[in-house]
């Protein structure tokens, strides 16, 4: 079968379901809007604090954007698991490796594009309100954080996408990942050092800091998040290959 | 032309054997009705042919090749498995467009099949706004996308209105006339009788019959003759002399079980009894089917309560 044709088919599927297209748009809108709001109101006061990481503060709203990124990854895949739609899809593309690779490539491509756009616009728009604390792309680590932040969002989307294939439901994925990000990671992260540094969100967010904290550096932290995403993608691939549709 | 070949096909789910050493072929140029009670393994067999489920043992091929080895499968095999199997919030046309794109079928063909299935006017509507009948038409449109030589339809008349049922019947007969291989599962016997040329009957995952429909009905029903005469007393006596029994039916007719018109006609002529009407009553497919599956059905009690219909 033609790889291009299958990619094209997966692109049509993603763009024609409101939930997927909508959550992709939400990644951008939520992050930029919340960040502008936060920067304009408490931005300078926060930056005034002792030891504040100005760069990390510039990406504060990424915490919200990542929820939308997860929703995008989950819904882009979960449409195959409603009412046996997967059977129709696999009847059209019986090569499951190709089917899975094409789907994840489309999810990854869109997530990277939306992630990078979000990350750069968030940084630049937010800094416009920071007055004397404002950073530019030329400041140390800023460009790295913008690129890294975009990739981070994409990796979270892929983590959700892989997990959704294993769980066969967006609801299951979201009810696993969102509490994990909102609660477990915050609580465990503040209590315990060491292991918590390797949680997907905490590790990946090191790339947003001027001075990474904990066991991991900026890029090595993002690599740990990438490893989580890769593990979820592999598990999804294994599940799709193994199961009856 | 392409045929579907199933050989020693077995599928177990846990301890349940859904399909049990099934062997049959579906030939091109005719409509093959795929019959059996609920849970007999019809849908499972279709999923196995499409490579969606993996067989425990045995093979299923289309034109000699496993489905998963086909390069652009929709161009060779079109299938309707479950009319619900389209994402509700996706517009109908996009659903077909995504399938077509994967098999490099031009978008023009999407509009053609929507026109053919009578859903062109609602192409832009989301699938969840469709009635069951419209979803069925969408599923059939999807099956026809690649102009395939083999068509497999699972319960295609589900939810269709009378007009739709006539449409799907004519469609299937037309596809067979064009030399295509058509396999249609159904649990509606009277419906199947109107379009099938050949029958494959399953019961509990096993093959119960693989014969032309006419032979199937003859093999699984007793011949019966309906006769009307001006002299019932003499006719009854003459029939009784041959070992048959004439039973009074309504409107002055008599029915004779186990006999054929040739026999009764000759007998009446020899005895000089005037005959006003004489016909072979053929059993319905439903009666023949129930006779065959009486012991094979998993839900025998439910089946026994179904009233038999007159042919």
Q: What is the ipTM of this complex?
A: 0.88
pLDDT of residue A8: 96
Q: Considering only CB atoms, which chain B residues are within 8 Å of A95?
A: 68
Looking at residues A25-50, what average pLDDT do you find? Answer: 87
Phi-psi region of A37 (alpha: psi -120 to 50; beta: other; left: phi over 0): alpha
- The whole-angstrom distance between B97's CA and the closest CA on chain A is 7
Q: What SS3 state is found at A110?
A: helix
- Asked whether the beta carbons of residue B82 and residue A84 sit closer than 8 angstroms, the reply is yes
In tens, the pLDDT along B112-149 reads: 999 999 999 999 999 889 988 999 999 999 999 999 99
- Its pTM stands at 0.87
CATH architecture, domain B4-211: 3-Layer(aba) Sandwich (3.40)
Q: Considering only CB atoms, which chain B residues are within 8 Å of A93?
A: 102
Let me know: does B114 contact B130? Beta carbons within 8 Å: no
| β-sheet with B246-248: strand ranges across | B246-248, B253-257, B224-229, B275-281
pLDDT of residue A72: 95
Domain range annotation of chain A = 3-242
> What's the rounded Cα separation, in Å, for the pair B193 and B188?
9
* Residue B291 dihedral angles phi and psi, to the nearest 5°: -60, -40
- Asked whether the beta carbons of residue B53 and residue A2 sit closer than 8 angstroms, the reply is no
Largest distance between two CA atoms of chain A: 60
Domain range annotation of chain B = 4-211, 222-281
**At residue A218, does pLDDT exceed 80?**
yes
**Which residues, in sequence order, are bridge partners of residue B7?**
B59
> What's the rounded Cα separation, in Å, for the pair B78 and A91?
9
In tens, the pLDDT along A83-135 reads: 888 999 999 999 999 999 999 999 999 999 999 999 999 999 988 888 888 88
pLDDT band at A239 (very low <50, low <70, confident <90, very high): very high
**Which residues, in sequence order, are bridge partners of residue B182?**
B31, B151
B293: nearest Cα among B199, B214, B223, B225: B199
In tens, the pLDDT along A202-217 reads: 889 989 988 888 788 8
**At residue B68, does pLDDT exceed 60?**
yes
Q: Considering only CB atoms, which chain B residues are within 8 Å of A79?
A: 87, 90
- Asked whether the beta carbons of residue A92 and residue B82 sit closer than 8 angstroms, the reply is no
What count of other Cβ atoms lies within 10 Å of the Cβ of residue A163?
27
Q: Above pLDDT 90, what percent of chain B?
A: 55
Sequence-distant (6+) residues with CB within 8 A of A96 are A90, A240, A241
pLDDT of residue B295: 57
Sequence-distant (6+) residues with CB within 8 A of B149 are B1, B2, B28, B63, B76, B77, B179, B180, B181
**At residue B306, does pLDDT exceed 60?**
no
Mean pLDDT across chain A: 90
pLDDT of residue B302: 44
Retrieve residue B182's tokens: 């058509």
- Asked whether the beta carbons of residue A12 and residue B94 sit closer than 8 angstroms, the reply is yes
> What's the rounded Cα separation, in Å, for the pair A12 and B92?
12
Let me know: does A10 contact A90? Beta carbons within 8 Å: no
pLDDT of residue B1: 63
- Asked whether the beta carbons of residue B68 and residue A82 sit closer than 8 angstroms, the reply is no
In tens, the pLDDT along B189-233 reads: 888 988 999 999 998 899 999 999 888 888 887 888 899 999 888
Q: Do domains B4-211 and B222-281 have the same CATH topology?
A: no
- Asked whether the beta carbons of residue A82 and residue B98 sit closer than 8 angstroms, the reply is no
pLDDT band at A171 (very low <50, low <70, confident <90, very high): very high
Distances B175 to A238, B33, B143, B148, B190 between C-alpha atoms, Å: 39, 14, 12, 10, 20
> What's the rounded Cα separation, in Å, for the pair A64 and A153?
10
- Asked whether the beta carbons of residue A79 and residue B87 sit closer than 8 angstroms, the reply is yes
Among B98, B113, B125, B129, which would you mutate to test the A interface (most chain A Cβ atoms within 10 Å of its Cβ)? B98
- Asked whether the beta carbons of residue B85 and residue A16 sit closer than 8 angstroms, the reply is no
CATH architecture, domain B222-281: 2-Layer Sandwich (3.30)
- The whole-angstrom distance between A102's CA and the closest CA on chain B is 10
Nearest-CA residue of chain A relative to B50? A91
Q: Which has the higher per-residue pLDDT, B289 or B151?
A: B151
**Which residues, in sequence order, are bridge partners of residue B199?**
B33, B211
pLDDT of residue B305: 45
- Which residue has 């029939």 as its token pair? B239
Burial B255-291 (b: 16+ CB within 10 A, else e): ebeebebebbeebbeeeebebeebeebebbbbbbbbb
């Amino acid at each position: 079968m033609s790889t291009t044709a299958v990619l094209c088919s997966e692109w049509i599927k993603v763009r024609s379901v409101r939930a997927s297209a909508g959550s992709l748009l939400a990644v951008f809108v939520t992050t930029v809007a919340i960040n502008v709001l936060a920067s304009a109101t408490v931005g300078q006061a926060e930056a005034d604090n002792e030891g504040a990481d100005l760069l990390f503060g510039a990406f504060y709203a990424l915490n919200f954007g990542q929820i939308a990124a997860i929703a995008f990854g989950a819904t882009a895949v979960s449409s195959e698991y409603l009412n046996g739609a997967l059977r129709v899809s696999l009847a059209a593309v019986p090569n499951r490796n190709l089917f899975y690779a094409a789907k994840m490539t489309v999810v990854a491509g869109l997530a990277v594009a939306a992630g990078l756009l979000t990350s750069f616009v968030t940084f630049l728009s937010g800094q416009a309100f920071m007055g004397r604390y404002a950073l530019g792309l030329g400041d140390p680590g800023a460009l790295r954080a913008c690129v890294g932040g975009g990739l981070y969002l994409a990796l979270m989307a892929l983590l959700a996408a892989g997990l959704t294939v294993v769980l066969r439901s967006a609801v299951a994925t979201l009810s696993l990942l969102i509490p994990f990000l909102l609660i477990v990671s915050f609580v465990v992260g503040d209590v315990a050092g060491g292991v918590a540094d390797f949680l997907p969100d905490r590790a990946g967010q090191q790339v947003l800091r001027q001075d990474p904290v904990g066991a991991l550096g900026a890029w090595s932290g993002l690599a740990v998040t990438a490893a989580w995403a890769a593990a979820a993608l592999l598990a999804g691939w294994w599940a799709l290959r193994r199961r009856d549709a | 032309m392409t045929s579907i070949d199933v050989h020693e096909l077995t599928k177990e789910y846990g301890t349940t054997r859904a399909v049990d050493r099934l062997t049959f072929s579906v030939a091109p140029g005719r409509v093959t009705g795929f019959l059996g009670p609920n849970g007999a393994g019809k849908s499972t067999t279709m999923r196995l042919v499409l490579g969606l489920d993996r067989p425990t043992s045995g093979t299923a091929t289309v034109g000699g090749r496993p489905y998963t080895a086909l390069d652009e499968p929709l161009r060779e095999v079109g299938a309707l498995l479950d009319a619900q199997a389209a994402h509700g919030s996706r517009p109908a046309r996009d659903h077909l467009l995504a399938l077509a794109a994967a098999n490099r079928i031009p978008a023009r063909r999407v509009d053609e099949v929507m026109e053919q299935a009578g859903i062109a006017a609602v192409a832009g509507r989301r699938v969840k706004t469709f009635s069951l009948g419209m979803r069925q038409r969408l599923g059939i449109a999807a099956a026809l996308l690649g102009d395939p030589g083999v068509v497999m339809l699972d319960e295609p008349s589900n939810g269709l209105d009378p007009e739709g049922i006539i449409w799907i019947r004519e469609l299937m007969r037309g596809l067979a006339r064009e030399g295509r291989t058509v396999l249609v599962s159904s649990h509606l016997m009277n419906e199947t009788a109107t379009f099938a040329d050949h029958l494959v009957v399953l019961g509990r995952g096993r093959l119960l019959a693989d014969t032309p429909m006419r032979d199937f009905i003859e093999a699984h029903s007793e011949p019966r003759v309906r006769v009307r005469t001006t002299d019932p007393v003499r006719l009854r006596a003459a029939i009784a002399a041959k070992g048959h029994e004439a039973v009074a039916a309504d409107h002055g007719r008599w029915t004779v079980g186990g006999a054929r018109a040739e026999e009764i006609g000759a007998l009446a002529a020899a005895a000089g009894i005037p005959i006003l009407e004489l016909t072979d009553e053929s059993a319905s497919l439903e009666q023949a089917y129930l006779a065959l599956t009486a012991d094979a059905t998993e839900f025998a009690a439910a089946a026994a309560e179904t009233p038999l219909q007159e042919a």
